[in-house]
Amino acid sequence: VIEAYKRGLRPAVGYELNPWLLRLSRYRAWKAGCDGEVSFLKQDLWKVNLSDCYNVTMFLAPSVKSPLAAKLLAELPDEARVVSGRFPFPCWTPSSTVGTGLDQVWAYDMKEVRQAAQSSAEGSPV
């Protein structure tokens, strides 16, 4: 969230349920000089409506990726970009990748992800 803000993405909002991680995020924003410019909200990502989000960055375990992929497909606009750190989405083809190993990130453009999902659904036998 802090890096997104520094790169000009507004608004820069993070969602976290763990109170310790929430405090740590707010402390890091304060330390980076962006306190009051970025927001970290104690909310359940599964209950947040993401339909007005155009840049989504996440660091989540692989076990969460499949159900989250369905939520993102349902809610994000075509113009949205999703960046995933450490673990890729297993069924999505990234638009680009950066880094290697533990520092690798995958970027997905939702329009491309939707087109690929539709193509694969059309090619599947019913």
pLDDT in tens, 36-88: 999 999 999 999 999 999 999 888 888 999 899 999 999 999 999 999 998 99
Note whether residue 112 is domain-resident: yes
Is there a domain that residue 80 lies in? yes
Domain that holds residue 110: 52-121
What pLDDT was estimated at residue 125?
A: 57
Mean pLDDT of the chain: 91
Domain match, 56 and 104 both: yes
* Domain identity same for 114 and 66: yes
CA-based nearest residue to 120, from 85, 58, 69, 75: 69
pLDDT (0 to 100) of residue 9: 87
Q: How far apart are CA 21 and CA 24, in angstroms?
A: 5
pTM: 0.83
Q: Do 70 and 102 fall into the same domain?
A: yes
Assigned domain for 126 exists: no
Under 8 Å between Cβ of 84 and 48: no
Both 63 and 14 in one domain: the answer is no
Does residue 106 lie in a domain region? yes
**Run of H or E residues at 111:** helix 110-123
Residue type, 112: E
Domains held by the chain: number: 2
Cα separation of 83 and 28, whole Å?
A: 20
